[in-house]
Amino acid sequence: MEWTAEALLIGVRRHGETSVVAEAMVAGRGRHFGLVRGGRSPRLAAALQPGNTLQLTWRARLEDQLGVFSVELLEARAAALIADRTRLYLSQTVCELLHLLPERDPHDRLLGMGLRLIDAPPDGAALARFELALLEELGFGLDLSACAATGATSDLTHVSPKTGRAVSRAAAAPYLDRLLPLPSFLTSRGNAGPHDIATALRLTGHFLDAQVWTPRQLDRPAMRDLLIETLSRED
C-alpha cells in the first residue's frame, strides 16, 4: 500500500530511540499517522514541526497498519510562528482542534480553513467559524438558521445551551439567564468586535466542552485559553 499527498503536520510523538510517530491532516485522506524513521535527527526534526506543510509518502503492507512516512518539507512555518506569540497560539489551537477528528476520515474543508487561519493575521472571528464547522463535521452542528420557538429567521440573539438551536430576541427575553448570547456576525457577514469574538468563542467552547471534550475525558486545550487571553489584551 502506498500514496503520496500534501499534508499539514499537527502532532509528533517520540517512538523509540531515533524515530517519531507523525500525525498529519492529509488532503483527501483526513487525519493520518505514520512512523518517521530517524525523525529525531536534526535534519528531519526541523521539518517535523506542527504547522509545517509536508509532502508525505505513506507505505505499509496492509491498509490498516500504522505505516511509514517519507517526508519532504514544502512550507516551513515554524520559525515565523515562534516569532509571533499570537500566531503560535493560534496554530497550536488549530492543531489541537484537528486532533478531534476521526482518523482517516477526509475533512478537506476543515483542512483548508485551518491552513487559512494559520497563514493569515490572527483572526478570532475566523477561529469561531472554524469551531462551528468542526462541531458540524463531528455531528454536533448548531442550528442558527431560525428561532427554535417561533421559526423567525431574523433578530436571532441567543442559543439554547442544550439543543444548540437559535432563539430570537423576543422569544429569549423571559429566559436570558438560561441562554447563550449569539453574536450577529455568526449568522451574517457583519464585522466582529473584540466583545463579539469573545462571546462567540465562549459559545463554541461551551458546545465543544459539552459534546466533545468532556465526553472524551479531554482537557480544554490550554493554548486556546491563552489565545483568547492574548487576543483580548491586544484589542
193 pLDDT more than 90: no
Q: What ranges do the domains of the chain cover?
A: 2-77, 84-144+182-234
Cα-based torsion angle of the residue sequence 119, 125, 130, 133 in order, rounded to the nearest 10 degrees: -150
Q: ∠ CA 150-153-156 to the nearest 5 degrees? A: 85
Q: Which whole number is the average pLDDT over 32-42? A: 95
Output the CA–CA distances (angstroms, integers) from residue 123 to 100, 114, 168, 235, in the order listed: 21, 12, 27, 11
Is the predicted pLDDT of residue 161 greater than 70, yes or no? yes
pLDDT at 107: 97
pLDDT digit string (tens) for 53-81? Answer: 999 999 999 988 999 999 999 999 988 99
Q: In whole angstroms, how far apart are CA 124 and each of 48, 65, 73?
A: 27, 38, 28
Kindly report the backbone phi and psi dihedral angles of residue 146, in degrees, each rounded to the nearest multiple of 5, phi listed first: -160, 160
Q: What pLDDT, on the 0 to 100 scale, is given for residue 63?
A: 86
Cell of 233: 489584551
The proportion of the chain whose per-residue pLDDT surpasses 70, expressed as a percent, equals 99
Q: Per residue in 75-91, pLDDT tens?
A: 999 889 989 999 999 99
CATH entry 3.20.20.70 includes domain 2-77 = no
Q: Which of 172, 171, 173, 168 is nearest to 187 (CA)?
A: 168
